[in-house]
Each structure stands twice: as C-alpha cells, then as structure tokens.
Structure 1
Amino acid sequence: MKFLEEKFVPLAARIGSQRHLVAIRDAFVVIMPVTIVGAIAVLINNIQGVFAENGLNVVSIQEGYTNFIKTTGIQDVMNAVNKGSINMMAILLVVTLGYQMAKGLNGDGIATSVVALTCYLGLAPAVQTLTNSYKWAEEATNVDVLTADVASGGLAANKLDSNGMFVGMILTIIVAEIFVRLSRNDKLKITLPDGVPPAVAGSFTVLIPAIITVILVVAVGTYIDRFSGMNLWVIIQKFVSAPLNSVADTLGTVILVYFLINLLWVFGLHGANIVGSVTTPIFTPMLLENTAAYEAGKTGADLPNIAHGMQAFAVIGGSGSTIGLIIAVLIFGKVQAERTVIGISIAPGLFQINEPITFGVPIVMNPVYMLPFIAGPVILAALTYILMDLNIIERVCLSAPWVTPPILYAFLATGGGIKAAIYNAIEIVLLTLLWMPFVMVSNKQNANAE
C-alpha cells in the first residue's frame, strides 16, 4: 500500500495530466455527442435486425420496418446524418484536437484547427479514375478508385472516417507544436494599424507562422511518400494502428485497463479520465470499425473488435460497478450512515454516476470496500470479453450515452442485442452477491465500534 501511495499514484497523476493526452481526451469528449448522433442514426436504420431469423425470428416485423424507413425517407435522413458524423470522425478530431492543443499551449485555437485541417487535407491522397488499361501496383492491398465517369482528385472516404484518426492525432499534435511556437515569435508577426478590424488583424498576426507550418508539414509528408512509396495513412496503419490493435484487443488488456481504473479511484484519483486519456485514442477507432461493419449488415464474430466494448458491462452504476453495493446495502445494510448515502445515490447510480458513493460511503481509502470495487469490474470485463469472443453474447457496435441506465445501455450499445441485455441483468445479480459479504463485514465493524 505504501509503495502504491508513494510511487504508483503520483506517476498515474502525472500521466493523467500530460498535456498531449489531456488534449486528446478532451477532443474526444467534444465530438462524443456527434458520435452518439451517428450511432443513433445507424441504430435506427438497422434495429430491425433484432427481428431477423437469427434473432427473435419475426421476419414480418423486420420487413415491415425496413419498408417503412425506405418509403418514408427516414433511411435517407439517417444515412445523411451518419455521413456527416461517424464518416467524418478524422476531420472532426483534427479540428477539435487542434483547438485543445492550442488551448494547452495558450495559443490561437481556431487558427490552429484551421492550419491542422489544411495540412491533413493537403496530405490526404486523392482517388484516381480507372483508365482502359489500369495496372495494379505490385503487392497492393488497398487502392482507392472511383468509376470512370467521376472526375479524379477527390478524397477517399476512408481517409476521412475512423481510418484516419491516428494520422489526424499525430499530424495535429505536430502542427500545433510548430504553429503555436512560431506564432509566439514577434519577428514573424505582421502588425496592422489600430483601425483595422480585429478579425483581419488577427489573421495577419498568424499569417507567416501559418505559411511556414503548412508548407513545412506538407512538404515533409509529401517527400516521405515520394521516397518510401507509402503515404502517412499506410505508414500509421502498418507501424502504429495494427500493432496497437493487436495488443489492445486482448483479454489481458481488458483486465489491466479496468484494474487500473478502479485502483486509481480507491486512492481518490479519477481513474476513468487518467486511463481513458491513453485508451480512448485506441478504442474509439475500434468501436467505429465495428459500427461500419454493423451498418454493412455484419453481426456476431463478423464484428472485428471486442475490447473497446466493456463500458456497458464492466461499469454498471459507475466506476467500481457500485450498483451491486446499492442493492446490497438496501437489502442487508444496517449502518445508518451508509444507508443514507446509498438512498441519495440510487437515482445517480442508475445513470452511471457514483461520486456520492465513492466519496460519501466512502470507497476511497476504505479497506473493506476497496476489494469488491476493484475486483467487480475486472471480473465482469474478463467474463464479458470471453463471452463475446465465444460469440455467446453480442459485441458492442454503437456508441450509446454513458449515462444510459443498465440493461438498456447494453441493448443499445450492441445494436439491439437481446442476449447482451439479459446478460447485463445477470451481472447486476452477480454484483449484488459480490458486494453482500463486504456489506455484512462493514455492519459488523460499525457495530463493534459502537
């Protein structure tokens, strides 16, 4: 315990406050509503899959609903919503991360976002039209093409969606570091007379830093492509995304993530924010990849990723899965102080908010409740991963609001997964059984103290 307090906790706090990680975390928070909107659109267009032959097997409802959203135009509306949200994740991330990076460096957020977006779009490879005699590049695995009746020069969709998020993150951080520092150099500022409108004066102030940054970054990216034969998207996918995904989407990673989150919480640190600053950039593209697969009609094991989807199953009632503690105290609790705190925590707990419990019972630095608080989410995360890997319950494919109540959260996140919702209800029972003996120990300790 002493080692954790003196070594681990300070290190975790420093990681959680590292400005690049904070900027990435906050950028994802900003675009989270748009991600949820896109997920809702995908869900509306595909929820009828619940009634398919491999689901509830009510094909008449499935076909009726499909016909309804097609004839009413709802399907077209939802497709348009999805196109502007989930299918633009890389662009949205570049803009929001540019702003957050500049904020951390005390720079011009809007200007930084614009410069970062300019560099990203400038380096994005253009699609080309097929000719009558088109030859594939040797050992090519992915080539962006359009039909011959569409003009060449457009940007491929997979450079704008989640496939471009890692490139967007790395490129935006580099651009922000260069641009903001150049903007501080008084020798590079163009100062206009006082009578000039502030917006115009501000644009000229960052004009030279913007020119230098854009030309420098785009030139480096272009020459990398020219000499290596690989653009930034191919390089990042090959040397960053693929290795991270292979490590991230494992049972061991899931156990480690939820162990660290809840271990930090028992020391009073916001574990979700600290660990999330590292995992969010990895897990979000994995979720969006599943969303795209779900939208294409894939289910079960055809959805490629698992580890990103533990939130709905390992965080029930808030960090530590304290909904089990709420029920156990209501049934078995005899400590009046605990019952009072739990009483006012029921409503927030149903919406995954449990700070009143964490600091009111308390959980923080409480040797009785620390063990189930850490062990509960770890056990559930591990069990959930195994069940999804064995295709026993549905995998998470949509982004649902984190404040969605249990069972409904699992149902929505899995695109209408009936088995996942039932399993989520079983988890609540298991959590109650896990917390029950510790509530009884607390009853005994407080009785002895009195």
Structure 2
Amino acid sequence: MKFLEEKFVPFAARIGSQRHLVAIRDAFVVIMPVTIVGAVAVLINNIQGVFAENGLNVMSIYNGYTNFINSTGISDVMSAVNKGSINMMAVLLVVTLGYQMAKGLNGDGIATSVVSLTCYLGLAPAVQTLNNSYSWAENAKNVEVLTDDIASGGIAGAKLDSNGMFVGMLLTIVVAEIFIRLSKNDKLKITLPDGVPPAVAGSFTVLVPAILSVILIVAAGTYIERISGMNLWTIIQKFVSAPLNSVADTLGTAVLVSFLTHILWVFGLHGANLVGAVTTPIFTPMLVQNTAAFENHQAIPNVVPGVDLFTKMGGSGATLGLLIASLLFSKVQAERTVISISIAPGLFEINEPIIFGLPIVMNPIYMLPFIVGPVVLSITTYLLMDFNIIERGCLSIPWVTPPLLSGFLVTGGGFRATIYQAIGIVFLVLLWTPFVLMSNKQNAD
C-alpha cells in the first residue's frame, strides 16, 4: 500500500497530466456529442435487426419498420447524419485536437485547427478512378492497367473516418508543435497598422508560420511516400494501429484498464480521466469500427470497447451494488444519509457523492469490493462477448444512461446483454453486502 501511494499514484498522475494526452482526451470529449448523434442515427436505421431471422424472428415487425423508415425518408436522414458524424471522425478529431493543442501551448486555436486540417487533407490519398471499360483475355486472373489510364479523384472516404484517426492524431500533434512555435517567433510575424480589422491583422500575424508549416509537413509526408512506397495511412495502420489493436483487444487489457482505473480512484485520483487519457485514442477508433460493422450487418470485430460500460454500473467501482446493499442492510445513520442522497445520481452513473462522502477513498473496508467488482465484471463480460454469448458493444451512448437501458442501447438492441447486466447487478449486491455489514459492525463498535 505504501509503495502504491508513494510511487505508483504520483507516476500515474504525471502520465494523466501529460499535455499531449490531455489534449487528445479533451478533443475526444468535444466530439463525443457528435459521436453519440451518429450512433443514434445508426441505431434508428438498424434497430429492427432485433426482430430479424437471426434475432427474435418476428419478420412482420422487421419488415414493417424497414418499410416505414424507407418510405418516410427517415432512413435517408439518418444516413446523412451518420455521413457527417461517424464517417467524418478523423476530420473532426483533427480540428478539435488542433484547438486543444493550441490551448495547452497558449497558441491560436482556430489557426492551428485550420493549418492541421490543411496538412491532413493535403496528404490524404485520392480516390483512384478507372476508365469506364476494359477488356482482357478470357479466364484471366490478373489484369494490368497502365498508370496513364488512372485519374485521381476526390479524397477517399475511408481516410476521413475512423481509419484516419491515428494519422490525424499524430499529424496534428506534429503540426501544432511546429506551427505554434513558429507563430511565437516575432521575426516571422507580419504586423499591420492599428486601423486594420483584428481578424485581418490576426491572419497576417500567422501567415508566414502557416505557409512554412504546411509546406514543411506536406513535403515531409510526400517524400516519405515517394521513398517508402507507402502513404502515412498505410504506415500508421501497419506499424501503429494494427499492433495496438492486437494488444488492446485482449482480456489482459480489459482487466488492466479496469484495475488501474479503480486503484487510482481509491487514492483520491480520478481514475477514469487518468486512464482514459491513454485508452481513449485507442478504444474510440475500435468502437467506431464496431459501429460501421453493425450498420453493415457484419460481425462486430472488437470486444474491449464494449466491456467498460458493463463494469461501471452506478459509476466507477460499480457502486450500484453498494447503493442497494446499503439500503437493505446498513444501519449506520451517517452512511444511510449519504446513500439516500446518492441514489438519484447513482442511477445515472454519477457516484462522486459516495466515493468522497461515504467515503470509499482510503477506506480499508470498501476499497476491496470497489476494485474487485469491476475487475470480475470485466473478465466475465469480455469472455461472454468473445464467445458471442452476449452481444458486443457497437454504439456510443451518453455515459449517464442508466443500467439495463445502457446495456440494451450500447449493443444495438441486445436482449442477452441486458439480461446479463441485470445478473451483474445481483452479483454486485451480493459482493457489497458483506462489506456493508462489516462497516456496520465497525461503526457500532
């Protein structure tokens, strides 16, 4: 315990406050509402899948709902919403991350966002469009097309959605570091007379740094592609995204994330924020991939992004079990007072009143179930999802969504996941009850 308090907690706090990680975390927070809007749109267009042949097999509801959203145009509206939100995640992240990076370095947020987006779009691979028709020998397996017959079109959509998020993050960090530092160099500033409107004067102030940053970054990306034969998206996917995903989507990762989150909480640090600064850039693209698979009626590829919600029923520490157990068995008036105040926010995953008011922080009795409960749930949830016994998480929902409803929505209408969540609540009550009774006995003494 002394080692954790003196060594681990300060180290974790430093990692969680690292400015690049903080900027990434805050950027994801900004675009979270848009992510949820896109998830809602996907859910509305695909919720009838619950009643498909491979679901509840109530085809009258399935066909009726499908015909309704198609005939009324609701499907088209939701598709357009999705196209502008989830399918633009990389672009949105570049803009918000550029702004957050500038905040951390006391730079021009709008200008940094614009320069970052310019570099990103400038380096994004173009769609390759073939001629209308080609002929080749019968039974030919490989067809060679001369490069002269290929015309560059618009930017590939796959580079603007979750597939481009890692490139967007890394590229924006580099652009921001260079552009903001150049912007603070007085020798590169163009100062206009006082009578010039502020917006115009501000543009000229960063004109030279913007020109230098864009040319430098785009040139570097272009020559990397010429030398390596791979664009930045291919390089990042091959050497960063793929290795991270292979490690991230494992049982060990799910358990480690849960354990670290809650061990930090019991020492008074906001574990979700500190650990989320590292995990959010990894898990969010994986969740968006799941959303795309759900929308296209394909198998959900990733497990870990859907685990966390099932381990935090009532908030960090899965304290919904503590709420119920205390209402049933606690006889300590001080605890019952805190619990009564905490019931309403606890149902919406807000449990700071319990963590700091009961308290759980540095409480030797309640620390153990606070950590063990989520870890056990992370193990069972991962295994059940991995073996497809319950549905996998595929949609982003507001974090304040109450249990049971959250399990149903995050899985795109998964009844098995909802039932499992109800079983999880029973488990949590049984887990917390002995510790509530122990607390009663200690306080009675």
Name the TM-score class by shorter chain. Answer: over 0.9
Question: In the aligned structure 2, how far is the partner of 1:250 from the partner of 1:322?
Answer: 25
1:194 aligned partner: 194
Question: In the aligned structure 2, how far is the partner of 1:134 from the partner of 1:45?
Answer: 40
- 1:422 aligns to 2:426 (yes or no): no
2:17 aligned partner: 17
2:392 aligned partner: 395
2:91 aligned partner: 91
Q: 1:187 corresponds to which letter in structure 2?
A: K
Question: In the aligned structure 2, how far is the partner of 1:349 from the partner of 1:310?
Answer: 19
Residue of 316, 321, 325 corresponding to 1:319: 316
Q: 1:314 corresponds to which letter in structure 2?
A: T
Unpaired segments ≥5 residues, structure 2: 137-148
Offset at residue 213 of structure 1 (A)? 0.2
SS at match of 2:126: coil
Offset at residue 133 of structure 1 (A)? 5.3
1:122 aligned partner: 122
Spell out, residue by residue over 1:55-80, the C-alpha distance to the aligned partner (whole angstroms, 9 max, x if none): 22211000000000000000000000
Contact conserved, 2:41 with 2:81, CA < 8 A, in 1?
Answer: yes
Spell out, residue by residue over 1:298-320, the C-alpha distance to the aligned partner (whole angstroms, 9 max, x if none): 2xxx2100011123200100000
Offset at residue 416 of structure 1 (A)? 0.2
Question: In the aligned structure 2, how far is the partner of 1:260 from the partner of 1:307?
Answer: 15
Q: 2:43 corresponds to which letter in structure 1?
A: L
Q: 1:243 to 1:134 in 2, by over 3 A?
A: farther
1:378 aligned partner: 375
SS at match of 1:128: strand
1:224 aligned partner: 224
1:278-427 → structure 2 map (5 Å cutoff) = 278-298=278-298, 302-427=299-424
Spell out, residue by residue over 1:321-346, the C-alpha distance to the aligned partner (whole angstroms, 9 max, x if none): 00000000000111111110000100
How many residues are aligned here?
A: 432
SS at match of 1:308: helix
Question: In the aligned structure 1, how far is the partner of 2:201 from the partner of 2:244?
Answer: 44
SS at match of 2:154: coil
Q: 2:262 corresponds to which letter in structure 1?
A: N
Question: In the aligned structure 1, how far is the partner of 2:387 from the partner of 2:71?
Answer: 38
Alignment TM-score, normalising by the size of structure 2: 0.96
1:277 aligned partner: 277
Spell out, residue by residue over 1:420-439, the C-alpha distance to the aligned partner (whole angstroms, 9 max, x if none): 00110110000000000000
1:132-281 → structure 2 map (5 Å cutoff) = 132=133, 152-281=152-281
Spell out, residue by residue over 1:49-102, the C-alpha distance to the aligned partner (whole angstroms, 9 max, x if none): 111122222110000000000000000000000000000000000000000000
Q: 1:343 corresponds to which letter in structure 2?
A: S
Q: 2:289 corresponds to which letter in structure 1?
A: E
1:442 aligned partner: 439
SS at match of 2:190: coil
2:146 aligned partner: none
Spell out, residue by residue over 1:186-217, the C-alpha distance to the aligned partner (whole angstroms, 9 max, x if none): 00000000000000000000000000000000
1:44 aligned partner: 44
SS at match of 2:350: coil
Q: 1:355 corresponds to which letter in structure 2?
A: E
Question: In the aligned structure 2, how far is the partner of 1:30 from the partner of 1:318?
Answer: 21
Identity %: 78
Contact conserved, 2:130 with 2:151, CA < 8 A, in 1?
Answer: no
Q: 2:236 corresponds to which letter in structure 1?
A: I
Offset at residue 152 of structure 1 (A)? 3.7
Spell out, residue by residue over 1:254-288, the C-alpha distance to the aligned partner (whole angstroms, 9 max, x if none): 00000000000000000000000000000000000
Question: In the aligned structure 2, how far is the partner of 1:359 from the partner of 1:312?
Answer: 22
Question: In the aligned structure 2, how far is the partner of 1:391 from the partner of 1:204?
Answer: 57
Offset at residue 378 of structure 1 (A)? 0.6
Question: In the aligned structure 1, how far is the partner of 2:135 from the partner of 2:5?
Answer: 63
- 1:72 aligns to 2:106 (yes or no): no
Question: In the aligned structure 1, how far is the partner of 2:210 from the partner of 2:55?
Answer: 55
Question: In the aligned structure 2, how far is the partner of 1:165 from the partner of 1:128?
Answer: 21
Question: In the aligned structure 1, how far is the partner of 2:389 from the partner of 2:218?
Answer: 48
SS at match of 2:67: helix
1:4 aligned partner: 4
Question: In the aligned structure 1, how far is the partner of 2:328 from the partner of 2:292?
Answer: 44
Question: In the aligned structure 1, how far is the partner of 2:26 from the partner of 2:374?
Answer: 24
Offset at residue 151 of structure 1 (A)? 7.3
Question: In the aligned structure 1, how far is the partner of 2:56 from the partner of 2:153?
Answer: 46
Q: 1:434 corresponds to which letter in structure 2?
A: L
Alignment TM-score, normalising by the size of structure 1: 0.95
